[in-house]
Chains A and B, each alone.
Chain A
Amino acid sequence: EPEVTQTPSHQVTQMGQEVILRCVPISNHLYFYWYRQILGQKVEFLVSFYNNEISEKSEIFDDQFSVERPDGSNFTLKIRSTKLEDSAMYFCASSDRGALDEQYFGPGTRLTVT
């Protein structure tokens, strides 16, 4: 069964450093998403991406964040200068048709900023 994969599973970084979180969405999906979940809190939407551009973003997704689809299979989230409050589980998701279509989530990358 096709699945979304994410690497690394755990990333530890120092405050102010840049991190890149990687995702391989399901191969025939066209819509890609990033969500985050701070420990003990709700899953929060960050950004959606379609046709090589951002289609929606939340208030959390400020200038420190960027997304890219560098090739036909990978989808990345970059945080330019990490802060302590960026520590969270980051989930990548993908869907086939966008609105009303189920989003399939990856296993997540746990980001720890020290």
Chain B
Amino acid sequence: EDQVTQSPEALRLQEGESSSLNCSYTVSGLRGLFWYRQDPGKGPEFLFTLYSAGEEKEKERLKATLTKKESFLHITAPKPEDSATYLCAVQPFLNNNAGNMLTFGGGTRLMVKP
């Protein structure tokens, strides 16, 4: 069974204090790994897709990396507006055919204090 585990569950940072969020995954075959941001009471907002180990993507203060077993979301010099829940999701192969479903982790709730 495909599993996605995110850690920590919650993270408090001071503004400007860089850190990393972890997403560990177990899938029979990984087609892609997705990072989303979710604000309270809203739908997930797409951030990145990573396809293969060693790949990195950046957007403003966020940088996502991927290995064969985990992904990291690095947050550099965060601001209060970066406060949100960050979700990791994997898109597995299904029965040797391409599948579109996403399997999500539980998320990391990030709080950045000014």
Contacts and interface: CB of A to CB of B under 8 A. Distances in A.
A99 B31 contact: yes
Nearest to A98: B100
Given A31-B100, A56-B99, A100 B91 contact: yes
Contacts of B106: 41-42
B104 interface: yes
A21 to B, nearest CB: 13
Contacts of B102: 35, 43, 45, 103
Interface in B7-61: 31-32, 34, 36, 41-46, 49, 51
A108 B51 CA distance: 27
Interface size class, chain A? 20 to 34
Given A42-B104, A42-B105, A99 B42 contact: no
A71 B104 CA distance: 30
B87 interface: yes
A95 B100 contact: yes
Interface string A34-64: 0100000111110010100001101000000
A99 B43 contact: no
A98 B100 CA distance: 6
Nearest to B106: A42
A102 interface: yes
B83 to A, nearest CB: 18
B73 to A, nearest CB: 16
Interface of A: 4, 31, 33, 35, 41-45, 48, 50, 55-56, 58, 91, 93, 95, 98-100, 102-108
21 contacts: A33-B101, A43-B87, A43-B102, A44-B104, A45-B103, A48-B100, A50-B100, A56-B94, A56-B100, A56-B101, A91-B43, A98-B98, A99-B32, A100-B49, A102-B34, A102-B49, A103-B102, A104-B46, A105-B36, A105-B43, A105-B46
Q: Which 4 pairs, one residue from A and one from B, show the smallest C-beta to C-beta distance?
A: A105-B43, A99-B98, A43-B104, A45-B101
